[in-house]
Amino acid sequence: MKISNSSLSIRSKMTLILDTGQLMMESGAGSKRIVRDMLRTAACLGIYWEDVQIHITYSTIMINVDDGEKAYTMFRKCYRHGINMTALLQTSEASWEALYKNESYDNFRLRLNYIRQNFRNRIYPEWMVILAIGLASAAFCLIFGGHAVDALFTMLAAMVGALVKYGCNRLEVNGYVTIAISAFFATLTAYGTMYLPGATNPFLPVVASALTLIPGVPLINGVDDFLNSYLTSGMTRFTHTVLIMLAMTFGIAGAVSLTNVPSFTEVPIAPEHLYIMQALAAAMAALGFSIMFNVPRRYIIAACLGAVLTVDTRNILMVSFHMGMASASFLGAALLSVFYFALSRYFHAPVFVVTIPAIIPLIPGVLLYRFLFAIIDIGQIDLMELLTAFKTGVEAMLIILGLSLGATLPDAIAHQYIERSKRKNLEKLLKRRDGIEADIRKAADLDKASGRG
């Protein structure tokens, strides 16, 4: 039985389409990519996009299919959210290979079930992920100008926070409470390292130890959703991110209230000089985030080299050309995405798999929780401090916008060329399978269907 066989019920086809969307959403994909893969799955099943309506929110995916006589509606809740690049790639590849090989419905369904069953069986063991969290946090410390001992203390504090987070997850503690508790213990441990010998800048571990808790990918996806007119999903992602940031800030503030740490949020993080260590730190951060995001091993070197290119470009523009952080971050992300887009044929995978771990180290986490700290203490600050906090928040959002625009620059510049190539490929596959039925050329235009045509 081929996948497009009309003997399949509409319910069976819609279930498979929703399976694809749910796996993509729970793996950390943006809304546009989710809709495109769902429409491609629908095309595999003989349902063209003119007969499909898809509504995306962060927690729910809804689909309506019209067979000419009746309209059918189903929805699927997405309860768990994380970043799993391996599952995301496997799901996307499954729909493409189903088209190329004209696989049976049962084979396609079994393949998606296998991906779902192994969703939690990540490539890297838990101890390595905890080590990666510490490594990425230590890299932030080095990027901010810290030395090896500062980075070591940061790594220790971040790993304590990660262990606490894993423990809370096993006990099924509320996610936001888990973030707050993890940030609390990471910051408290970092404070304890201030009394250990060897630290040259004892405040940097306090600043950097909890930065890996910041949901950088949902933040970038939220901006991308806004730019692609998926407003409901974008707003939900943004709200989710703000709640995580607030929980993290409350955890840090709780730890600070128990200690006599002064205003550590004023520690400078912008690069003032250029060091070789900054390039090594960028590669360390990308390595840590690649493991955290379950990126396949074959892409890790490319992600690390991309981080070196991105961070060094930003730092050179800021130090040598006195460019603002938002503009420099945009150009760093843009250079990376354009360069890797030119090499994309060698990756055999979407470019974002290597660009996301490389760009995440540029997320302005410190600026964001400077802003949130000011909001928490709003009753104790004067007008000038409030204006400074507002300026910090605006600068952070501009940096995030710049990173999102830079990451999607190849798609914006070469959009028509990219989509024309994909459309012709899909058109050829559909024509080979369905003959001259319906309007194959129109049915293959998934870009228009996903909202940008």
> Which regions in the chain score pLDDT beneath 70?
1-7, 261-275, 412, 414-453
The predicted structure's pLDDT at residue 135: 96
Q: How far apart are CA 77 and CA 80, in angstroms?
A: 9
Residue type, position 204, single letter: L
Q: How many other C-beta atoms can be found within 10 angstroms of the C-beta atom of residue 317?
A: 20
CB 430 within 8 Å of CB 42? no
The predicted structure's pLDDT at residue 202: 77
The predicted structure's pLDDT at residue 34: 94
Residue type, position 396, single letter: A
The predicted structure's pLDDT at residue 428: 67
Token couple for 196: 């250990």
CB 103 within 8 Å of CB 3? yes
Distance of CA 251 to the CA centre of its chain: 23
Residue type, position 283, single letter: A
Question: What does the angle CA 213 – CA 218 – CA 222 come to, to the nearest 5 degrees?
Answer: 145
Helices and strands counted in the chain (H then E): 20, 3
CB 371 within 8 Å of CB 393? yes
Q: Which of 28, 444, 31 is nearest to 228 (CA)?
A: 31
Phi and psi, residue 45, nearest 5°: -90, 5
The predicted structure's pLDDT at residue 48: 79
CB 182 within 8 Å of CB 162? yes
Q: How many other C-beta atoms can be found within 10 angstroms of the C-beta atom of residue 417?
A: 10
- Beta-sheet strands, E only, within 182-330: none
CB 129 within 8 Å of CB 291? yes
Q: How many other C-beta atoms can be found within 10 angstroms of the C-beta atom of residue 385?
A: 13
Distance of CA 31 to the CA centre of its chain: 12
The predicted structure's pLDDT at residue 359: 94
Counting other chains too, the contacts that 427-434 makes at CB distance below 8 Å and 24 or more residues apart are 429/99, 429/100, 430/43, 430/99, 433/2, 433/4, 433/99, 433/102, 434/4, 434/46
